[in-house]
Each structure stands twice: as C-alpha cells, then as structure tokens.
Amino acid sequence: MNLTVHGIGRLLTMSGAPLRAAAVVIRNGRVAWTGPESDLPRDAPPARLDVAGACVVPGFVDAHTHLLYAGVRREEFAARLAGRAYDGGGIATTVTATAAATDAELLDLASGRAALALSHGTTTMEVKSGYGLTVESELRLLRLADELRTRTPIGLEVTYLGAHVVPPGRDRGEYVDEVVATLPAAVVAGARWCDVFCDEGVFTVEEARRILTAAREAGLGLRLHAEEIAPTGAAGLAAELGCASADHLEHVSTEDARAMAAAGVVGVLLPTVTFSLRSGAWTHAGVLRAAGVELALATDCNPGTSWCESMPYAVQLACLAMGLSVDEAFRAATLGAAHSLRRADIGHLAVGARGDLAVLNAEHEADVVAHLGGAAVTSTVVGGEVRWMS
C-alpha cells in the first residue's frame, strides 16, 4: 500500500507535462507525491521499486470486455481466414459453451484472462455479462463477475448486457420485457452499468431506448454497443440519453458524433475487433476526433471478434492502423477510458489518484508502439502494490 517508485526515466501522469528523472510516492494505495527524483520527500516509503530508467504510465483502463465466457470459436475463425461465410457461429456458440461450464471453471478461465491483462499493465477492467441470455444465467454471470474481484487485483466495473442478442426462438418483445424486468436484480447482483447491443440484426434503437431508460431508473449507468455493423443512429441515441460511452462506432455519422461530443459521451474505440474481423473499418476515429469526441480504447476481449487481453496491443493498432497519435492513444487507454467509466480516481497519476501504474519495457511510450511483438510491460502496480513483475 506504501511504495516509492523511482528511477523513472519518463513519467506520464496524464495530469500535466511528462516528467523526466522522476519518482512517484504512493501512500495507503493513493498517489501522494510525484516529481523529480532529486526532490523526493525524505519520508518517502522505504518500500522501493527501482525501474532503472523506464517509462511509467498510469495503469491501463480496459473500458469494454466480455471476460466471462467458456469455449473457443475456431471453426468460425478458420472460415473468416478462408473468406467463407460461416453459419452457426457467433454469440450463440459461446452461450452454449458458457452454460455447459461450471462456476469454478468460468472463474478459472476469467481469472486467467485477468492475470494476462495484468501482465500487460491493465489495472481496471469493465466486465460484461451477455453470454447467458436467460434471466438466471445472466444473473449467474453478474454474480461471477462480482466474485472475480476476489481472484484478481484488477479493479472491476460490472455491466449487465442481457440485451446482447435476441435468444434464438424467443419473441423479441417478450425478451426485451424480460431484460427490463431483470434490471433491479442485476443491481443487486453487483452491476453498476447497463449495456445494449444496438445494431442491425440485434436490438433496434427503440428497444435500446426502452431498456436504457429503465436501466437509468434502476440506478445503472449507461453504455451502448453502437454502429458496429451498420449505420443505425445508435450513437445519436447514446447522445440523447447521455450515455457514459458509445462503443465501436465504425459507422457513426458526423452529425451523431457532434451530438456525442455535446452530450459528453465518450467514444470507445476497439481496434482489435477491426483487425480480427478483417473489416478494414479504420476511419471512424477520424470522424470522432474531428467532432471533438473524447476517445477511449478497449480490447473488447471476447472469443469471437477480439481474443485479446492486451491494452498495449490495442494502443499499437490504434496508432498504426487507426491513425491516432501516440499521445492520443495512451490518453485514450488511460484517462479517456476512466472518463468512459465516470471514474475520477483512475487513469491518471495526480495526487489523490489510485496508485495504479504500468512500468513500460521502454524508455519512451512511443517505443512500445513501434516495437511489434515485444513485451510492453515489465511491472504492474495496483493500489501501491507490485502485483505483477516480469
């Protein structure tokens, strides 16, 4: 809980200009001081982490994951590589595998993924339900997400995504009613957020409006899977409802992007999805940037469209494929993502913030972007404790 991190060659606090030859003092899990190491307070904690000239950044905040699932989607992936259409894959495959797994198996799988994310510098992660699609199984996933807190040092933000797809064979109106009716129980099970997959072939803007309006009344914060598959106006809905985030946004219009900016909706970019799907949708970041939307980055960790736990990898793709600058990408992966979760205490290293940081395997953050296939992080500190070290 008390730690002095020193020998920092370059320190990004996200609350001021980068510092050189710096140190960070963490007391009781919170940042108590940052500055040049030559000015290190005499009473700095004796527990020391010497990072030997490395670059240190705030711990990454992964603003969008589907961490709780079982099974792989190998056939679907092979079909994608071969350019073949594949019938029978998708979310339903993962729902079946997740239903067949025991609670202990799901927790083992999710905590393994969280451990990998921690080794890539993630210190806070959003985790959605959504592979249950019945009241009982969605609540089971929310309870497991809550229990996952005891299995990882990563801070978790839990989201109810009962409206992930319309379950095969169900009447959609009845299913929307059921999702709405489950909202109070989702709160009790530990959810802080509600999300809807609002897109072509999934839930309509009208259905999403109904679910999210009820979610707000139930006390949940609002997020939205928007405009991934086709232009639907979902981003405009996110602006209308004042959602904390709209995520994906490949088909966002300039007008809706402007509405998002005016309403303070953070745009969550998921470049690993574009890469994994081979969709070539790289241009929306520019539309959002031009409209003045605050950007966040996330992995969208899931078995179908983005099997990825690494935020540095998302940062690399955001820069090299999506066209963000290194500054923009690191800000989006830390401060922007924290804002998408309406958290003031993470994503930066100002005094009072949580003592969460990642020590990069580089003297400068740009080297982590340029170095393809390298290990990006050598240590991860959560709440002033070294929780991972290479």
Q: Least distance in Å: CB of 64 to Zn ion?
A: 6
Q: Which is nearer to Zn ion, 31 or 298 (CB)?
A: 298
Q: Least distance in Å: CB of 131 to Zn ion?
A: 11
Q: Which is nearer to Zn ion, 224 or 360 (CB)?
A: 224
Q: Which is nearer to Zn ion, 161 or 315 (CB)?
A: 161
Q: Least distance in Å: CB of 150 to Zn ion?
A: 25
Q: Least distance in Å: CB of 228 to Zn ion?
A: 8
Q: Which is nearer to Zn ion, 138 or 300 (CB)?
A: 300
Question: Which positions from 281 through 310 interact with Zn ion, judged by CB under 5 A?
Answer: 300
Residue type, 101: A
Q: Which is nearer to Zn ion, 250 or 300 (CB)?
A: 300
Residue 373 CB coordination number (10 Å): 7
Number of residues that bind Zn ion (CB under 5 A): 1
Q: Least distance in Å: CB of 251 to Zn ion?
A: 15
Q: Least distance in Å: CB of 386 to Zn ion?
A: 31
Q: Least distance in Å: CB of 21 to Zn ion?
A: 41
Q: Which is nearer to Zn ion, 298 or 369 (CB)?
A: 298
Give the residue closest to Zn ion by C-beta: 300
Q: Which is nearer to Zn ion, 300 or 365 (CB)?
A: 300
Contact positions vs Zn ion (CB under 5 A): 300
